[in-house]
Structure 1
Amino acid sequence: MKRLRPQLIFAAAILVTGVLSGLIGAFITLLVRAVQHLTYGYTQGPLLLGVIASSPERRLLGPTLGCAAAGLGWWLLRRKVTVPGLNHAIRADRPFAPMPMSIDALLQVLAVGSGASLGREQAPRMLAAVGTELLIRSGSLPPEQRRIVLAGAAGAGLAAVYNVPAAGALFTVGIVLRSWRPTAVLVAVATSSLATVTAWPVSHGAPTFDWPPTDLTGQAVWTALAVMPIAALVGAGFNHLVSRSRPPAPPKSWALVPAIGLAGLATGLASLWLPQLPGNGKSIVLESLSGAAPLAVAALAAVLKPTLTALFIRSGAAGGMITPALSTGTATGAFIALAIHQFGGQASVPTTALIGGAAVLGVTQRAPLFAAMFTAELTHPPLDVCGLLAIAALGAHFMGWIHRRLTKS
């Protein structure tokens, strides 16, 4: 029995991590919705409809005040402590700062719910990892197992929020751990699956986006090949813009309050003409997949989304980059399909938009398998579309790799 005890403790830690991550993911989903409803004054439906229905004054004041409040919170927090980076802390086996990391995650929820152009996926990842670390910090697990379980919690938090268990597992092993050892893969699959199922009462086990009826022809393959180099350039541009905007160290002065508030005001001003801009990018993906956006709107969304994201990063805000990059890619793909239509050609707008999203995300995350699986699980498209997502993400990632090598030499 003593020989089995370490394995039983490890199995129990995996079980608790998966369930806890799912509960946290469900909580964050509900909390973001509550902040969005308060900011834009609506009670049901997607954020896009809430922004459209809100008054111009609310579109301006809501994100300005909400983002300024988040900036006030970050100023008060960073005056006292430094919040460690989650992925680096896990890989380096460094102790967490539970309270600062938890506060930072909740401030991210406040900012994103108020309309900040940042991803919400970082908050559940942080809270899931912190909660797991508090449960296993007594030394009951060896360091290697502890690192794997904490990485599993981070990926499981992402899986629970978006109902993407396979993508959550790939995120764990490919981005957080950067290890494909069998134990790491098994823990990643188990924790992400448990978290996803635990969050089903909130996510309803449904994909984040409904896949619209669309005919897939042989031309879609050529469209996917055409999207790859463009997506590689867009992804490289997104990374360059965000990297140049990121301060050398997180700002700690009182200027955080007006700076993040002004970024919120800029988002509010832009939303007067493009109501899909506030938030993490879900509204842009929704409109891109519907094919309802005119050519000029798709082009503006592809340019303004990364610009607003960089503005928030420059102001000192913190948040995820996955969904801003994804939405930039889907807007780019929709623009390409609509441009083909403009010149008399034929291209499926939803398929091309999703291909663009997978390709850009593959470049920005440097993880093409994760990008393809994430976009597939978000929409549940036909299997042949899933194949095109993988081809586009791998191709754009390879082109991005060549670009990085050439710029370094």
Structure 2
Amino acid sequence: MTPTQDATAAAESAPLPKAERAKLLDLQRIAPTREERLFLVLSIFIGVISGLLVVAFRSAYEWIKILALGSAPHPGQYRLMYMPALVGLVVAALVVWLFPGARGSGVNQTKAALYVYNGYISFKTVIGKFITAALAIGSGQSLGPEDPSLQIGAGVASMIARRLRMSRQRLRMFAPIGAAAGLAAAFNAPISAILFVIEEVIGSWSAAVLGSVVLAAISSEVVARLFWGSEPMFHVPPVELRDPRELLAYAVLGVTGGFLAVIFSKALGYLRPVMRNLPRWTHFVQPAIAGLMVGAIGFFGFPQVMGPGYTVIDQALHAEFTWKILLALALLKMLATALSFSSGTPGGMFAPTLFIGAMLGGAVGTFEHHFFPHLVGTVGAYALVGMGVLFAGFLRVPLTSVFMVLELSGNSSIILPVVLANTIAYLISRSLQPTPIFEVFTHQDGLELPSMEEQREEVHLHIEDALHPVDVPVLRGSDSLSRASERMNEMGVKVVLVQMWDRTWYALTRDELTGMEALQKAETAIERAVGKDRIPPLYPDLPLDSALPYFSRWPVLPVQNRASRGTLEGILTQSDVLERYEQN
């Protein structure tokens, strides 16, 4: 070894100063591990693959639509009835015999993969979802592509994680990452996709999970925009709120949407188990019968209800229908979607929900303009707000519903009416239908998945809810052991709190004190006699359960003031915590 190498090795092996050593430990603690770095890189890769699959999925169902229904379906075409029925037979056979996991929307299946099956979604299910949903949506079933895209993305992520032999915890978290990627590409709305996955699938998040979800959603959206462009999904006329009194009209829309969302939820909640409990042989014909009935609605005058209906939504945003036609389309779309979804046909609820909301909003806006001409808001504005209203009331994701409207329209001037109407619809729906629709489907499927709405609304206890005034002696670290013994005897307690020179706290018990007095002089300062461990700082606003791990070491926990270190707000014992939980 050369002298230079010797010096370098010596420098590298030389002990670091204490401050630099602490900084190095901090960097090691916050720096991502190799698995975490791989996790982030894979999130981008999953986003790209999911984006490509969603692009292919959309192209597939649009191509099938042209083949099955023609480029411009109109009433009186017999293919509107027989094509959905024929394709329904094919879809039913595929679902029953080959792809049972493809049944349903895909949202609950992804949640089940996360909470029940350790993130496992078979690639067979991904293939089945792609094929059957494309056939169903393309043939005119009243369903949407967003939920299937979510499950396709989650399935791809699950497969990649299994191939790389990721840990069980990572495997579970890959499913929602892929879900966000698939939904972002299908929705052309990455922020809404991220929020929906957090609100409905995960329920909570950490910085690492959020970063991965964001990377996957953005990368899939970039891929989708390479094919479809960066324009928003809907082109909305300029929206302006000139008169604050018009908020009352939007409030009426919120009330109407809240009640309609409840009716829609109860209809699905009733019809779906009825059809599922019919004899098994009927499962081979239910999608066909549903397709025939949806096709009949189109044949006899309203082909707009067939398929996702994005073009019809855009027409409603530009006030191309009368209020009576808009109301009829909303009600018929509810009927058609209930039939298609309850029959077990693979497909999603997002697009139908937006469709119904847009028609309802347009109908309310047109009606109010007719009878209250002083209102200056456009019909398109009401249709746009209506989309968010039903999304908030039916799917029960209030935060997602607001951002979804903003992203899909590219218009931020509508934010105040959207927040007002969505909140009203959400509160009405929650009071009349306590169980969200996805949770209803979960119970019907025999699963017990966590309720994200209950988690959001759950009242969390904090330390301040259980602490009580200081009723034990408080000493300083410089006080002697004999002083501690005197104070214990005076107050008849078995523990004293000791504040050290650096304002940290120690709980000295009678047994500890007896052992110290046997080995040391009575005049010895407490801070010299005790060990180096200290009670971790606790504050009133911390979660109550955060105190539980410390009771195995400390019988009493001092609760400090955040603004004045060392100043006591009260104390906490294990019995205090348990009694507070019993009361709750």
- Relative to the length of structure 2, the TM-score reads 0.64
2-side partners of 1:214 and 1:404: how far apart? 32
Q: Contact conserved, 2:110 with 2:176, CA < 8 A, in 1?
A: no
- Give per-residue Cα distances to partners, 1:28-73, cap 9 Å, x unaligned: 111111111111222xxxxxxx223x86122223322222322232
| TM-aligned CA deviation for residue 81 of structure 1 | 9.9
Partner residue, 1:225: 251
Change beyond 3 A, Cα 1:142–1:8 = same
Give 3-state SS (helix, strand or coil) of 1:14's partner. helix
| 1:271-282 pair list within 5 angstroms | 271-272=298-299, 273-282=301-310
Letter in 2 for 1:342: H
* Aligned mate of 2:77, from 45, 53, 56: 56
Segment drifting more, 341-350 vs 321-330: 341-350
Change beyond 3 A, Cα 1:251–1:147 = farther
Partner residue, 1:88: 112
Give 3-state SS (helix, strand or coil) of 1:86's partner. helix
- Give per-residue Cα distances to partners, 1:249-273, cap 9 Å, x unaligned: 5878342343222221222221131
Change beyond 3 A, Cα 1:208–1:252 = farther
Letter in 1 for 2:359: A
Partner residue, 1:74: 95
2-side partners of 1:241 and 1:183: how far apart? 40
1-side partners of 2:208 and 2:225: how far apart? 26
Partner residue, 2:341: 313
Change beyond 3 A, Cα 1:94–1:194 = closer
* Aligned mate of 1:270, from 278, 283, 297: 297
- Give per-residue Cα distances to partners, 1:269-322, cap 9 Å, x unaligned: 211311211002324422321211112111111111111111123322232111
Q: Contact conserved, 2:87 with 2:139, CA < 8 A, in 1?
A: yes
1:241 aligns with 2:267: yes
* Aligned mate of 1:293, from 321, 324, 335: 321
1-side partners of 2:191 and 2:242: how far apart? 27
| TM-aligned CA deviation for residue 403 of structure 1 | 2.5
2-side partners of 1:67 and 1:351: how far apart? 37
* Aligned mate of 2:195, from 164, 170, 173: 170
Letter in 2 for 1:373: F
Give 3-state SS (helix, strand or coil) of 1:210's partner. coil
Give 3-state SS (helix, strand or coil) of 1:256's partner. helix
Partner residue, 1:14: 43
Letter in 2 for 1:225: A
Segment drifting more, 105-114 vs 88-97: 88-97
Partner residue, 1:302: 330
2-side partners of 1:322 and 1:105: how far apart? 17
Partner residue, 1:365: 395
Change beyond 3 A, Cα 1:299–1:79 = closer
Give 3-state SS (helix, strand or coil) of 1:111's partner. helix
Letter in 1 for 2:252: A
Partner residue, 2:145: 120
Letter in 2 for 1:143: R
1-side partners of 2:326 and 2:365: how far apart? 10
Partner residue, 1:380: 410
Partner residue, 1:45: none
| TM-aligned CA deviation for residue 115 of structure 1 | 0.6
- Give per-residue Cα distances to partners, 1:112-141, cap 9 Å, x unaligned: 111101121122222211111111114643
Segment drifting more, 183-192 vs 227-236: 183-192
Letter in 2 for 1:303: L
- Give per-residue Cα distances to partners, 1:151-170, cap 9 Å, x unaligned: 01112101101210101111
1-side partners of 2:48 and 2:77: how far apart? 42
Give 3-state SS (helix, strand or coil) of 2:242's partner. coil
Count, aligned residues:
398
Report which of the two has the higher share of helix: 1
1:260 aligns with 2:290: no
1-side partners of 2:279 and 2:242: how far apart? 53
2-side partners of 1:252 and 1:29: how far apart? 34
Q: Contact conserved, 2:323 with 2:366, CA < 8 A, in 1?
A: yes
2-side partners of 1:304 and 1:65: how far apart? 22
Partner residue, 1:401: 430
Structure with more contact order per residue of length (Cα contacts < 8 Å, sep ≥ 6): 1
Q: Contact conserved, 1:236 with 1:363, CA < 8 A, in 2?
A: yes
Q: Contact conserved, 1:106 with 1:123, CA < 8 A, in 2?
A: no
1-side partners of 2:176 and 2:236: how far apart? 31
2-side partners of 1:138 and 1:380: how far apart? 39
Change beyond 3 A, Cα 1:79–1:178 = closer
Report which of the two has the higher share of strand: 2
Structure 1 residue ranges without an equivalent (≥5): 43-49
Segment drifting more, 137-146 vs 340-349: 137-146
Structure 2 residue ranges without an equivalent (≥5): 1-27, 436-584
Letter in 1 for 2:110: L
1-side partners of 2:369 and 2:103: how far apart? 51
2-side partners of 1:405 and 1:168: how far apart? 24
Q: Contact conserved, 1:118 with 1:320, CA < 8 A, in 2?
A: yes
Letter in 2 for 1:259: Q
Letter in 2 for 1:246: R
- Give per-residue Cα distances to partners, 1:171-210, cap 9 Å, x unaligned: 1211111113222222222111111001112221211111
Aligned-pair Cα RMSD in Å = 2.7
| 1:124-139 pair list within 5 angstroms | 124-138=149-163
Change beyond 3 A, Cα 1:252–1:4 = farther
* Greater Rg over alpha carbons, structure: 2
Change beyond 3 A, Cα 1:29–1:220 = farther
Change beyond 3 A, Cα 1:389–1:368 = same
Letter in 2 for 1:51: P
2-side partners of 1:113 and 1:78: how far apart? 18
Give 3-state SS (helix, strand or coil) of 2:133's partner. helix
Segment drifting more, 319-328 vs 86-95: 86-95
Give 3-state SS (helix, strand or coil) of 1:56's partner. coil
Identity of aligned residues (%): 22
- Give per-residue Cα distances to partners, 1:314-361, cap 9 Å, x unaligned: 322232111111211111111111111232433421111111110111
| 1:136-155 pair list within 5 angstroms | 136-138=161-163, 140-155=165-180
Change beyond 3 A, Cα 1:312–1:80 = closer
| TM-aligned CA deviation for residue 146 of structure 1 | 2.8
2-side partners of 1:105 and 1:290: how far apart? 32
Segment drifting more, 357-366 vs 259-268: 259-268
Give 3-state SS (helix, strand or coil) of 2:57's partner. helix
- Give per-residue Cα distances to partners, 1:6-37, cap 9 Å, x unaligned: 23211222111111111112111111111111
- Relative to the length of structure 1, the TM-score reads 0.89
